[in-house]
Amino acid sequence: MAVTHRTGTASPAPAAPLGVVAAGSMAVPDVLAGLDSGRAGLTAAEAARRLRMLGPNAVRSHGARALPVLGRQLRSPLLILLAVTACASFFVGERSDAVIIGVILLASVGLGFVNEYRAEKAAEALHSSIRHRCVVLRGGQPRSADVTELVPGDVIELQLGEVVPADVRLLTTAGLECEESVLTGESVPAEKSAEAVPAGTSLAELSCCALMGTVVRAGSGTGVIVATGGQAEFGRIALGLSEHQPETEFQVGLRKFSMLLVQVAGVLTVAIFVINVVLHRPVIDALLFSLAIAVGISPQLLPAVVSTSLAAGSRQLARRKVLVKRLICIEDLGDIDVLFTDKTGTLTEGSLRFMRSTGRDGRPDDEPLRLGLLCNEAVVADDHAVGGNPLDIALWDSPAALGQQAALAGHQRLATLPFDHERRAVSVLVEDDAGRRTIITKGAPEGLLERCAEVPAAARAALDAEFAAGNRVVAVATRPAPAQSAITAADEHDLQLRGLLVFLDPPKATARGALDRLARLGITVKVLTGDNPTVAAKVCADLGLPAGRVATGADIDAAGALLGALLAQTTVFARVSPEHKARIVREQRRTGVDVAFLGDGVNDAIALHAADVGISVESATDVAKDAADVLLLEKDLNVLADGVMEGRRIFANTMKYVLMGTSSNFGNMFSAAGASLFLSFLPMLPSQILLNNLLYDS
């Protein structure tokens, strides 16, 4: 537990934010004194007062801004062609034609602007419902709070997978590493400690600070916030930059199609003008007729139709609990051919429940439960877990844990080696009342059993039986450590297996129907999970998803260049690392299909970036939500199926207009152009052509 120094009592004015570089060179007591705070954090009243004075911890909200929306409407090549034609008509004296073209231009821009702005407002409302939260100490008690409520002086917990919400001076660390490439450009995670650095140390070398916008890649820690919002280093940079989103495949295709129409219109304009001049038609009439033919070929309302379809689609998707970060991503959502998804919470309930604790012989035994509670990363307040990974939370909040509280009181935790996705384990160094020190390690059975000196056959049989039943299992082992005061990964050897902790995560009732819907939509579903292969195969079999061959991370490494062949015959990939997931997604994309990835953990971020469409959920880790293109407000494959159907409907409606409008316009204009070669007069006046197209498109 943290020791209270000061409680941040109210003062006439809020403490000024410290620069993170300055705070890094100061001792922890000096930093806390400068912020009028303490290791117990601020009181709720003081935090609220500072929030009113300093404002929310936000760099930029997702706001609907009219001018950028209008600018996007005016960038269309087709609208530029209309504007050029209107100007040409005006300067040659054909004011009526200029007015008609102007009406077309205003109608297209106006419809597009109104619909996209409405969609932006809807997205603004939806973004406000997606929150990042963290554990903050208020008066010495941990509580979950929205990151926008954080103020300088708050003491927060940093956990694996979180995006650091503000500039933080670290107070304690346990194997903490942060990925800081967003600020420093370094791809290797930076190791962190609580020791002050020399004055003048550069931002990239502030080992005692965690910076806003960086990601906790390993370990955990606590720290005091020194700057928030636009005062943070990342905040200052972000406020000076404009957001630029890369084009999607649909946008690229639409732009290329528009440019093709403009090029065709240009060629036709020149050709028809030259032919009519050769036929001794009046030059002005020939010019206006050729321009009218060129404009008449293109579907003038294409930008407005696309904006209208996407805006309507975004409202429909919002009703179906799907948030698309950018409207244009709706089209990509409808193009999905292969969906890679995790298992927990998608195919299963995701509400882990602790079932039993068994000893080395497979019989009931409370000792592994007691050891598991000591080796636990859950953040606890009033004997209730308010943060941490789901397995630790389920263990701590289980009814069986209540009877172990007295046994835990006689132990003190001296050091922690946090969980990471390579070791797949967590270790702690504890000391009992008698002064005996012990290393307790808890983790995935396959890896942990390899580090044990001896594993009874009964333990392996019990483990296989639990896996065959589809249960999730965590192994617990110990080793005496009489002379140690710290632990590293090298200490996880010659362990003695103490038993197993068994958890239940039953299949989701709606999963079978959702899988059937996706199959009818032509989407192939494949599972990527860090769980045991037998457990994953059992869950898929219960849901009617043919497992085919079950491949592991070792199989992926061994496949090498033949990974494509392994993908073709495999539905379930188990015990895979984050790098394995991204590699699988990239290899599947090389086959020429559109790939989506659904994940919610820090280990899913790389694969979310690698997919054509990254999909996450509202309850995901911060880094997963930030990496995703689409957010589901409910982790259910039925919600995703609704989104795919809506995306396909919008795409179909857009393409219907493009094909119908373009083919009809081409036929009409080629007929008019051809007739002009044989008639002594123009078959249609420019104003008639343009008015006809406007009425037809509307």
Contacts of 453 (CB under 8 A, 6+ apart): 494, 495, 496
CA 383 vs CA 14, 221, 393: distances in Å: 33, 20, 11
Residues 143, 615: Cα–Cα separation, whole Å: 29
Reading the block at residue 141, the tokens are 């008690």
Residues 141, 578: Cα–Cα separation, whole Å: 34
Residue 118 contacts residue 111 (beta carbons within 8 Å): no
- CA-based angle 155:159:163, to the nearest 5? 85
Residues 359, 459: Cα–Cα separation, whole Å: 8
Q: DSSP characters for 154-203?
A: -EEEE-TTPBP-SEEEEEEEEEEEEE-HHHH---SPEE--SS---TT--G
Which among 110, 200, 218 is positioned nearest to 162, based on CA atoms? 218
Residue 147 contacts residue 135 (beta carbons within 8 Å): no
Environment class of residue 486 by beta-carbon count within 10 Å: exposed (0-12), middle (13-18) or buried (19+)?
exposed
Phi, psi of 597 (to 5 degrees): -130, 130
Residues 637, 512: Cα–Cα separation, whole Å: 9
HEC readout, 43-62: CHHHHHHHHHHHCCCCCCCC
Reading the block at residue 455, the tokens are 């594993």
Reading the block at residue 299, the tokens are 């579907």
Residue 599 contacts residue 624 (beta carbons within 8 Å): yes
Q: Is 41 helix (H, G, I), strand (E, B) or coil?
A: coil
Residues 478, 486: Cα–Cα separation, whole Å: 15
CA 212 vs CA 147, 215, 230, 578: distances in Å: 11, 9, 10, 23
Residues 479, 454: Cα–Cα separation, whole Å: 12
Residues 357, 499: Cα–Cα separation, whole Å: 7
In the set 167, 332, 342, 594, the catalytic residue is 342
Residue type, 538: K
Strands 495-504 and 353-358: antiparallel
DSSP structure class, residue 31: H
Distance of CA 108 to the CA centre of its chain: 34
Residues 542, 470: Cα–Cα separation, whole Å: 10
Q: Give buried/exposed letters for 202-215 (b at 16+ CB in 10 A, else e).
A: eeeebbbbbbbbbb
Residues 621, 274: Cα–Cα separation, whole Å: 64
Reading the block at residue 408, the tokens are 């835990």
Residues 625, 602: Cα–Cα separation, whole Å: 9
Residue 415 contacts residue 220 (beta carbons within 8 Å): no
Q: Is 108 helix (H, G, I), strand (E, B) or coil?
A: helix
636 is catalytic: no
The shares of helix, strand and coil residues in the chain, as percent rounded to the nearest 5, are 45, 20, 30
Residue 665 contacts residue 297 (beta carbons within 8 Å): yes
**Enzyme catalytic residues:** 342
